[in-house]
Structure 1
Amino acid sequence: MNNSVKFITATALAISSLSSQAEVRINGFASIVAGTSMDEDKSLYGYDDTLSFKPESLFALQVSSDLGDGLSATSQIIARGENDYDATFEWAYFSYAISDSTQLSVGRMRIPFYRYSDYLDVGYAYTWVRPPKSVYNLTFSTYDGASLLYTSTMGEWDSSLQLIVGSFEGSVNVLSDDDPAKLSNMYGINWTVGNYWLTARAVYMQADASISFVNDPDPTQQLNQFVGLLGAIGATDAANGLLIEEDDGSFLGIGVSIDYENFLIDSEFTRVEVEDTLIATQNQYYISFAYRFDEWTPYISFEHRKDENDDDYSAGLPTDLNLGGGPIDVRAAYQATLTSQETENDVFSVGARYNFHPSAALKFDYTKRERQTSDASVLSVGLDLVF
């Protein structure tokens, strides 16, 4: 019995057991997305120049149970095309209503980085085929810990204040797609206010970040060798400036959404920083405009991302170190290592959503990414459903 079958069987047994004790509700959502790169020998968002359904398609079930007296349990099972539809737990947590306005949750939950974090995989919840990738670019989205949510009203404004604490252990994408990472002592605050047409939010997260490069695709492990060289010549600060070992990491996000009559405007700005490390500081934003014409909602959006690395400890490094094989410009090599993590791109998207069914939407999207080194574009069609 493979892992997916074991997983589904165990889930079915758990649901059967719970149903005799509490009210169980099962909801689901799915996205079937087909796309192709419009440029030969170039890829974007996992698509090359052959039509594919795998990179962004998914199927998910969410199981929630009201255990009574303010206690509930929620889990989300998701199978992604990019992972050959192997089913995994995305969420699994308990919630307790301390009062009508305060809720405590513990377990594995979504980190509230973005405006649509809670609906990140629910394509039906937003207008685009995909959230703007220049901003929604972190390769992890969940944490293990606790969340305290307080909701209130301030005149005509609804307020939602969330405090989180916890940790993350998994894989991120720095030098490879599978760099082992650990975020400890994670804490943050997420505040959202809104009225009938305007929503604004601000979020700040902090954590001690550690990332290993044991899966560096370079077979010579060039970075690790270079760090060893820096240590051997006594350049401890420079070596530590490349490593990511319990360094201060932070995330700042600000967003505004407008839904006025038939006009829709979404915009978010985020900043990601891991101090004194190889990781470049990321600054990115997007702004999106849409207009509803009955069942049709066409949209356009613009994204910008710029990664810069100013943690430069190269000033005292030698430019002509001779190890027997000729002089080595260590300073230039250090600066090149930092520069390798820098990037800048603009992304333009145009598309439309068609609500042909109360529980389904068909979407069309053309996206072009412009970089200094190369451009790439993708054409995609998606079907989003909730059930």
Structure 2
Amino acid sequence: MSARLLATLAGVAAMLALVVPAAAQTPPPVQLSGFATLGALVPDRSDLWFYRSGVNAPGKNRVDLGTDTLAGVQGSLRLGDSSDFTLQIMASETPRGDYDPRVSWAFWRYNPNAALTLRVGRLRVPFFMHSDSLYVNYANPWIRPPQEVYGLNPFSEIDGADLLVRVPLNGADLEFRPYFGSGRIDVADGGSARLRDVRGLTVNLLKDELNLYLGHGEGRLQVRWGDSGHRTLVAGLGLAGGELAALPARLSGRRGRASFSAAGLQWDNGEWLAIGEIVRRRADRYVNSARAWQLTAGRRIGAFTPFLTLARQTEERPVAQAVIADPTLAAGFDAYLASRSGAQRSVTVGLRWDFARNAALKTEFSRVRVARDAWGSFFPRGQEAPGGRTVHLLGISVDLVF
């Protein structure tokens, strides 16, 4: 964490605290809350596993309970009239396949007035419009946010700081949030990834039923793959020698850079709901560059909310490029690139039933078409790769907040 940037944010906070009146209401000294989801996902193909990069392990059973099931508790301790400390602990399936609890939030917040909030610690990084409610599934219409969009950036937390500044604007609220920090995630088969020196800015415009979101962040990327496909390809490239011997340095290492941009719109008048998002990831190595979008429309009819979601992810540039004369090694390289691409498109029909206060039952049926040279959101159980295949998914969940 940069001491100079932290001092700058704190200085801005102190200046704004002098010119903006403090909020009148004082919260109770301790606030406790929690959230939970019990979910099950069933694909129509027994030779594929569903996988959310950086979130869970590929499902080993036909009925996968690990994709969406989670629980979290959160507590906030007031430290004074304008500051508090928040701790959130969450348990869900990890890419290692266990359910060890982890600290997902742990930050000190300085909130002298309604116009300013400074946070320092472990934060949810605001890469997406719905990042703050990423795991509080009750707050979203879907069982899980569309994988085509939200799978494009698996980093959900950073250790750092952010500053939220709210500015009234003609009956609307304009929010600016600069942030910086570093984050780490595990990936399947013993790998890991780090995003260091992340710097970004989000802008939100909120007016009545409308929320407009823009965001951009970038940082240094480190990736260490641990799967057998990576190890086999690296060994083959080393034996080939020549220019190919330098190719593994573009597949994993500590010298990458990546950026992520996003735009979103949500309109919700209490009866009709519309959500649209478009995102783009650019990287110079280790992961591919890609773009994605999703559009959701729903209507509340009493306690029921049927909705429709269209989503698509498209690859812009593969992880690496090379001309390989050996046909066996070339085929292995192409297969490797496909395994690193999440390109796919989907149509999802869902229904949410708010059957009790703070509890909802959701069902979804998705038709997913994986791009020909990609694995999409799936891992193969056998020899046949997911590329070019159509997969149907049935999901059901119960979401709670308390």
Q: Normalising by structure 2, report the TM-score.
A: 0.79
CA distance in 1: counterparts of 2:64 and 2:179, whole angstroms: 38
**Counterparts of 1:124-273 in structure 2 under 5 Å?**
124-137=138-151, 138-172=153-187, 176-213=188-225, 215-218=226-229, 221-226=231-236, 228=238, 232-234=241-243, 238=247, 240-260=249-269, 262-273=271-282
Structure 2 residue runs without a partner (length 5+): 1-27, 52-57, 373-387
Query: What percent identity do the matched residue pairs reach?
Result: 26
Query: What SS is found at the alignment partner of 1:117?
Result: coil
CA distance in 1: counterparts of 2:365 and 2:239, whole angstroms: 47
CA RMSD of aligned residues (A): 2.7
Displacement of 1:37:
2.1
Give the residue type in structure 2 aligned to 1:301. Answer: T
**Distance 1:251-1:262 versus aligned 2 partners, 3 A rule:** same
CA distance in 2: counterparts of 1:40 and 1:33, whole angstroms: 19
Structure 1 residue runs without a partner (length 5+): 1-21, 320-326
Residue 349 of structure 2 corresponds to residue 350 of structure 1? yes
Query: What SS is found at the alignment partner of 1:128?
Result: coil
CA distance in 2: counterparts of 1:24 and 1:236, whole angstroms: 58
Q: Deviations over 1:174-212 (max 9, x none)?
A: xx4432222211110011112112111011010011112
Correspondence for 1:55 = 67
**Distance 1:234-1:32 versus aligned 2 partners, 3 A rule:** closer
Moved over 6 A (4+): 327-333
**Distance 1:240-1:27 versus aligned 2 partners, 3 A rule:** same
CA distance in 2: counterparts of 1:166 and 1:233, whole angstroms: 39
Correspondence for 1:114 = 128
Correspondence for 1:42 = 48
Q: 8 Å contact 2:319–2:340 — kept in the other structure?
A: no
Correspondence for 2:389 = 374
Query: What SS is found at the alignment partner of 1:225?
Result: helix
**Distance 1:93-1:34 versus aligned 2 partners, 3 A rule:** same
Q: Deviations over 1:118-176 (max 9, x none)?
A: 1111111011111111111133311111111111211122111111111113324xxx4
Q: 8 Å contact 1:278–1:338 — kept in the other structure?
A: no
**Distance 1:49-1:181 versus aligned 2 partners, 3 A rule:** closer
Q: Who wins on radius of gyration, i.e. which is larger?
A: 1
Q: Normalising by structure 1, report the TM-score.
A: 0.82
Give the residue type in structure 1 aligned to 2:85. Answer: A
Which stretch of structure 1 is more off in the superposition, 367-376 or 112-121? 367-376
The number of equivalent residue pairs is: 350
Give the residue type in structure 2 aligned to 1:253. Answer: A
Give the residue type in structure 2 aligned to 1:111. Answer: V
Query: What SS is found at the alignment partner of 1:134?
Result: helix
CA distance in 1: counterparts of 2:141 and 2:318, whole angstroms: 36
